[in-house]
Amino acid sequence: MAQKKPDCERYRVPVGGSFRLSTIDTDDDQDLDRDEARKRLSLNHEQMQEYQQRLYAEGRQSLLLVLQAMDTGGKDSTIRKVAGVLNPQGCHVTGFKAPTDEELAHDFLWRVHDHVPRRGQIGIFNRSHYEDVLVVRVHKLVTPDLIERHYGHINDFERLLVDHGVRVVKIMLHISKEYQLKRLRRRLERPDKHWKFNPGDLEERKRWDEYMESFEIALNRCSTDHAPWYVVPAEKRWFRDMLVSEILVKALTDMDPRYPKPEFDLTRYTPQSIS
Ligand code: AMP
Ligand code: MG
């Protein structure tokens, strides 16, 4: 049987504001075969490695992957499984926790801007400036008026990055509330996962609906042509990993980084002529 191709465009949030999270089945796998998906992931890994090298050699553009999810949504393991194959010299992962006093003394993008990948590099954000329209909105940490302005600030910020050669790809790893409970229970069942259990997550869980509402607003207002959002079903982890790699390969293919032309005279320097 011919292998079915995964379709990632199905999960791209359209520009314009009518997207509903409920239209994405968090357990979806497009009826793909798990082993085939694994093979596809490793092919994608090879492509990512090749593109990363070209990106580095070219030194003109960079790729930023923004990952957001509810607690237990799988951000850490996605980064490990998808980006673990990249050359660490050309890839930088940044996690964003609750802001420090110093960070709070600045605008919300101040701490983020510094971690945007330089030309030639791949950057991954484990949480991001979107926390300022998610947790900050749910907990009303700033005034509603300011939250309202944040969406525009984010779109302008991402436009700025794109104008300066940064490809911005944003992925929400989408899970259900029931699945989260399973994952939280698992953290308690397994001694090697206890360190990941944070009683505070139970408090956030009570606000699930408010988080979903905040995600939906952010996705609708900030999925743009220049910096699209994808909502990836994240409960089947083999499907999630393959799909995220698929989205990255697609972005890199589109960026089409090229090895630079040699700046020396190729007729003068040949493998035989040097010693
Ligand atoms: P974790 O990713 O599990 O280590 O948790 C990081 C925590 O930092 C999460 O609870 C986030 O909601 C929180 N956090 C990240 N950014 C912000 C922010 N801008 N304001 C408030 N809390 C934040
Ligand atoms: Mg956590």
- Judged by DSSP in three states, 9 sits in helix
245 assigned to some structural domain: yes
CA gap 55, 124 in Å, rounded: 15
CA gap 149, 156 in Å, rounded: 11
pTM (predicted TM-score): 0.97
4 assigned to some structural domain: no
pLDDT in tens, 214-251: 999 999 999 999 999 999 999 999 999 999 999 999 99
What ligand 1 atom has the least distance to the C-alpha of 201? 10
211 alpha carbon, closest ligand: 1
Supply the range of the domain harboring residue 77. 9-255
Query: Residue 74 corresponds to which tokens in the numbers above?
Result: 């799988």
267 assigned to some structural domain: no
pLDDT in tens, 136-195: 999 999 999 999 999 999 999 999 999 999 999 999 999 999 999 999 999 999 999 999
Residue minimizing CA distance to atom 6 of ligand 1: 97
209 assigned to some structural domain: yes
In degrees, rounded to 5, the angle at the alpha carbon of residue 236 between the alpha carbons of residues 128 and 174 is: 35
71 assigned to some structural domain: yes
Cβ–ligand 1 contact at 98 (below 6 Å): yes
139 alpha carbon, closest ligand: 1
Residue minimizing CA distance to atom 3 of ligand 1: 71
Query: Residue 173 corresponds to which tokens in the numbers above?
Result: 């790893």
What ligand 1 atom has the least distance to the C-alpha of 135? 12
Distance 56 CA to ligand 1 centre (A): 31
Distance 269 CA to ligand 1 centre (A): 54
Q: In the structure, what pLDDT confidence band is assigned to residue 104 with cuts at 50, 70 and 90?
A: very high
Which of 131, 141, 150, 197 has the most ligand 1 atoms within 8 A of CB, as the residue to mutate?
131
265 assigned to some structural domain: no
Judged against a pLDDT cut of 80, whether residue 2 lies above it is answered with: no
Q: What is the CATH number of the domain that holds 87?
A: 3.40.50.300
CA gap 252, 167 in Å, rounded: 9
21 assigned to some structural domain: yes
263 assigned to some structural domain: no
Distance 197 CA to ligand 2 centre (A): 7
Average pLDDT over residues 57-68: 98
Give the number of domains in the chain.
1
175 CB neighbour count, 10 Å cutoff: 22
pLDDT in tens, 76-93: 999 999 999 999 999 999
Backbone dihedral region of 158: left (phi > 0), alpha (psi from -120 to 50 degrees) or beta? Answer: alpha
Q: In the structure, what pLDDT confidence band is assigned to residue 129 with cuts at 50, 70 and 90?
A: very high
